[in-house]
Amino acid sequence: MISPMEKLRKTEVYKSIFRHKYEDTPRNRALQIVDNVFLHLHPVRVPRHATNIGYTWGMGGITFLLFLVLTLTGVILMFYYRPTAQYAYEDMKYLMHDVPFGPLIRNMHRWGAHAMVITVMLHMFRVFLTGSYKPPRQFNWVVGVVLLLLTFLLSFSGYLLPWDQLSIWAVTVGTNMARATPLLGHEGPFGPQLGMRPDADVRFVLLGGTQVGPPTLLRFYVGHCIFLPLIATIFMVVHFWRIRKDGGISGPDTGKKNF
């Protein structure tokens, strides 16, 4: 008697999707990785300490997972959110009170963002403590620092979107530092001497006005939803690719190759 699962595995449709046999053999385990577009991010075999969560802390992977969760919940939130001073706060209220699962999605987005900042910092802490930035991984550390910066910027730009008191004042204080930028800000050292004005300096690029107002909301929205995620994705692609190219997970040099 052949089980229904086995019958299914003999169908043409199944075989067209999974191109290797089901038996648990080392060859099929390897094919499971190389034949899958997502899993082939990984090598086929890794040193045992790469699976030891005490060594890796898993923070890089968790950061990537949180990025995916944030992308998904963020897209869902966009169905109800309008980035104008007139509607933004109303839409938040609407989401929190009248949209089924609205609060859950928004909470996951907010708490996921906080969690991502934490995991990104811990990931960097671990990579430093294991000396994993040392040759040949120097450049990937630099890419990682850029990703850390992008994580902060993503979180900061999202902070303004609810358009409540917390948002506007955190962003007012944050962007007012930009006006003190040396040379490029209208209150920074040598800024006025170089002709910087409140309506023509580096802070204006962020705000789209001389104070935090409706144009700022739109600029932050576009930055938060499109511009920064796009750049972060590009850097993530490079980051992951370089992990493989630099020899996979870091580890002590025991004369064996890791890939």
Partner 1 sequence: MNHLLELVTKPDNIPIVGLLLLVIFYSWLAWTKARKNDSQQLPDEARLDDKVQVWPYLVRVEFLAMLVVLLILVVWSVFINAPLEEPANPALTPNPSKAPWYFLGLQELLVYFDPWIAGVVLPSIIIVGLMIIPYVDINEKGNGYYTFKERKFSILTFCFGFLILWVSLIVLGTFMRGPGWNFFLPWQDWDTHKVVVLNNVDLSEYFGMPSHFPDNSLNIAASAFGFLVIAAFYLSLGGWHYMKYKNSDVVKKLGLGRYALVLGLFLTMMFVVLKILLRLAPPIFGGYPVKYIWVTPWFNV
Partner 2 sequence: MADDITSSSQTVPPQRPQALSQESQISATPIPKKPKQDRAPENDPGIWRMGRKSFLSFAGWLSFLGFIGISTVGALRFMFPRVLFEPPSKFKAGLPGDYVIGEVNEKYTEEQRIWIVREREGFYALIAICTHLGCTPRWLTAENKFKCPCHGSGYYKDGVNFEGPTPRPLERAQITVNDDGEIVIDKSIKFRYELGEWGKAGSFLKYVG
Cβ 166 to partner 1, closest distance in Å? 5
Shortest Cβ 211–partner 2 spacing (Å) = 8
Q: Under the criterion CB under 8 A, does residue 114 sit at the interface with partner 1?
A: yes
117 binds, among partner 2, partner 1, none (CB under 5 to 8 A by kind): partner 1
Does residue 44 bind partner 1 (CB under 8 A)?
yes
Among 71, 76, 99, 110, binds partner 1 (CB under 8 A): 110
Give the binding-site size for partner 1 (rule: CB under 8 A): 104
Residue 160 one-letter amino acid: L
**208 touches which of partner 1, partner 2, none (CB within 5 to 8 A by kind)?**
partner 2
Q: How far apart are CA 62 and CA 82, in angstroms?
A: 30
Q: Which stretch binds partner 1 (CB under 8 A): 5-13, 15-23, 55-63, 226-234?
A: 55-63
Q: Find the shortest distance in angstroms from Cβ 163 to partner 2.
A: 17
Q: Is 86 in the site for partner 1 (CB under 8 A)?
A: no
User: CB of residue 2 vs partner 1: minimum separation in angstroms?
Assistant: 25
| Interface positions with partner 2 (CB under 8 A) | 169, 172-173, 176-177, 199-200, 204-205, 208-211, 213
256 DSSP 8-state letter: -
Residue choice 74, 162, 223, 229 for contact with partner 1 (CB under 8 A): 162
Cα gap 113→230, rounded to integer Å? 17
Neighbour tally for 16: CB within 10 Å: 8
Q: At what angle do helices 59-78 and 228-245 cross, to 10 degrees?
A: 150
The C-alpha angle with vertex 44 and arms to 39 and 5, in degrees rounded to 5, equals: 60
How far is residue 32 from each of residues 18, 27, 104, measured CA to CA in Å?
Answer: 9, 9, 35
Cβ neighbours, 10 Å, residue 91: 21
Residue 166 belongs to what H/E stretch? helix 165-176
Q: Choose, by CB under 8 A, the member of 75, 78, 166, 234 that binds partner 1.
A: 166
Are 212 and 175 in contact by the 8 Å Cβ rule? The answer is yes
What is the rounded distance in angstroms from the CA atom of residue 132 to the CA atom of residue 258? 14
Residue 231 in contact with partner 1, rule: CB under 8 A: no
Residue 22 binds which one of partner 1, partner 2, none, with CB within 5 to 8 A depending on kind? none
